[in-house]
Amino acid sequence: MKLTDIQRVYFIGIGGIGMSSLARYFKLLDKEVSGYDKTETPLTIELTELGISIHYEDKLSNISESFKDPENTLVIYTPAVPNTHRQLNYFQENGFNIFKRSEVLGLITRDTFCFAVAGTHGKTTTSSILAHLLRETNTPMTAFLGGISEDFNSNFWFGGDKYSVVEADEYDRSFLRLSPNIACITSMDADHLDIYGTSSELVNSFKEFVGKIKQGGSLFIKSGLPLDGITYGIEDNSDYCIKNLKIEHGTYIFDLETPFITLKEVKFCKPGRHNLLNGLAAFSMAMQIGTSPEELAKALATFKGVKRRFSYQIKTENFIFIDDYAHHPTEIQAVFEAISEMHPHKKSLVVFQPHLFSRTKDFGADFAKSLARFNSILLLEIYPAREEPIEGINARWLLDQISNPAKKIVEKHELFDEIKKQNPEVLITLGAGDIGLEINELSKRLAYEI
């Protein structure tokens, strides 16, 4: 199938962060775009403002007549959509071109010089930094991001089609649809065990992804991963290495050693060593196309961030409010370490919404351990996303495993009063579910009260 022959694109699950970036892309190409999603969100509202028709009921009558021509219509769906979905079944039964999001990404990027960022953590931040670096150095590229870049105010950027930047998502083995020129693997911690079964199968899938790199391409890996590639790390013997690291006024300052040049007094403003590693990975990848390392270093210092990735909502002398997408024990640990480094000795309160029953069940003890390190903990009920409940797995089950006695289960409508009652110096909201929809209102109320 040639994408150039397609006149109309219909999305099932159009409001997803990855799906919506594709919707923006096809709208930019002047295709007729429409779609379904379960609920209205800020993302779907933005798409509607672009002239994309979206509805929220799974009815065949909501599919307009112009999208019922199989010859000129492309249907894209997310793996999170159940196989009982009426619209999906209609398209399947009537001879339409139907592709998963990852397959379409593979088709779009196949004829570009493709940068792909893989890993169980850090994909969105690393790919967003990479896209920022390439844009700032005038590289003609298109970026499909898994979060809202604060530099682009979008999860999509089009500045040319010679190069592409994509996240290589391991969920549902989606990244095996890509064939990158330069790839990066940031981490391979156990996750998505509902798909892989065991952590070793997950690692095998990453190894299979490495085999998708085009001949003559390059693989970058975080130092310590059991793969062969160009390494990056902090204060070690990596090929690309950060040395002499210090913090001044909340900014990292360091020397950056590469196989070709050492840059002095490089700056990076995003807190957390995990984010610093993400920045180093992006820098290392961008250098491979001959971009000036000095110019890349300047651009690295101006990276603003990604929404819901250690995002400061309030930052005053007496109160700090940080929101983060962290939904895996390793990510929660990274957030805790970043707060300890940037805001030491301050009383912390974490609000966590677990994401998926299966993930909560698989990593319950690890979640409990990472959450217990904060001074106090508020737990919301598990966000189910695509899953049905698992008997016995709920917020109470997780709470009982947390050794810190300063813990409590709360409802969303109780959050503000409970936070105000506890009066923390640092508030952290964490989770990949709909907790993100609470942040703006919570920030407004807290800023007014504090």
Pairing type for strands 320-324 and 426-430 reads parallel
Burial of 269 (0-12, 13-18, 19+ CB in 10 A): middle
- Kindly report the pTM of this predicted structure: 0.89
> How much is the pLDDT for 450?
64
Q: Are 429 and 323 in contact (CB under 8 A)?
A: yes
Tell me the residue length of the chain: 450
Same domain, residue pair 118 and 141 = yes
What is d(CA 401, CA 392) in angstroms, rounded to the nearest whole number?
A: 13
Q: What is the mean pLDDT of residues 231-246?
A: 97
Would you say residue 172 has pLDDT above 90? no
Q: Which CATH number do you get for residue 136?
A: 3.40.1190.10
Angle CA 254–258–264, to nearest 5: 30
> How much is the pLDDT for 284?
98
Would you say residue 119 has pLDDT above 80? yes
Would you say residue 327 has pLDDT above 90? yes
Residue type, position 67, single letter? F
Q: How far is CA 242 from CA 238, 295, 336, 337, in A?
A: 9, 17, 21, 18
Would you say residue 50 has pLDDT above 70? yes
What percentage of the chain has pLDDT greater than the value 70? Answer: 98
Identify the domain boundary among 81, 100, 119.
100
Q: Are 413 and 383 in contact (CB under 8 A)?
A: no
| Tokens 């391979």 -> residue | 188
pLDDT tens digits, 377-389: 999 999 998 789 9
What is d(CA 441, CA 450) in angstroms, rounded to the nearest whole number?
A: 14
* CA-wise closest residue to 399 among 368, 373, 369: 368
Model confidence at 190, pLDDT cuts 50, 70, 90, reads: low
Better-scored residue on pLDDT, 101 or 191: 101
> How much is the pLDDT for 19?
94
Model confidence at 193, pLDDT cuts 50, 70, 90, reads: low
> How much is the pLDDT for 134?
98
Give the range among 41-55, 161-175, 183-197, 331-345 with minimum mean pLDDT: 183-197
Q: How far apart are the first and last CA of the chain?
A: 57
Q: How many domains does the chain have?
A: 3
Q: Which CATH number do you get for residue 48?
A: 3.40.50.720
> How much is the pLDDT for 332?
96
Model confidence at 82, pLDDT cuts 50, 70, 90, reads: confident
Q: For 317, how many CA atoms within 13 A lie in the half-sphere containing its CB?
A: 0
**Within a domain: 105:** no
Same domain, residue pair 151 and 297 = yes
Residue range(s) defining the domain that contains residue 73: 3-100
Q: For 145, how many CA atoms within 13 A lie in the half-sphere containing its CB?
A: 28
**Within a domain: 437:** yes
Q: How far is CA 174 from CA 100, 331, 403, in A?
A: 9, 21, 37
What is the DSSP-derived secondary structure letter of residue 302?
T
Same domain, residue pair 92 and 125 = no
> How much is the pLDDT for 192?
56
Model confidence at 191, pLDDT cuts 50, 70, 90, reads: low
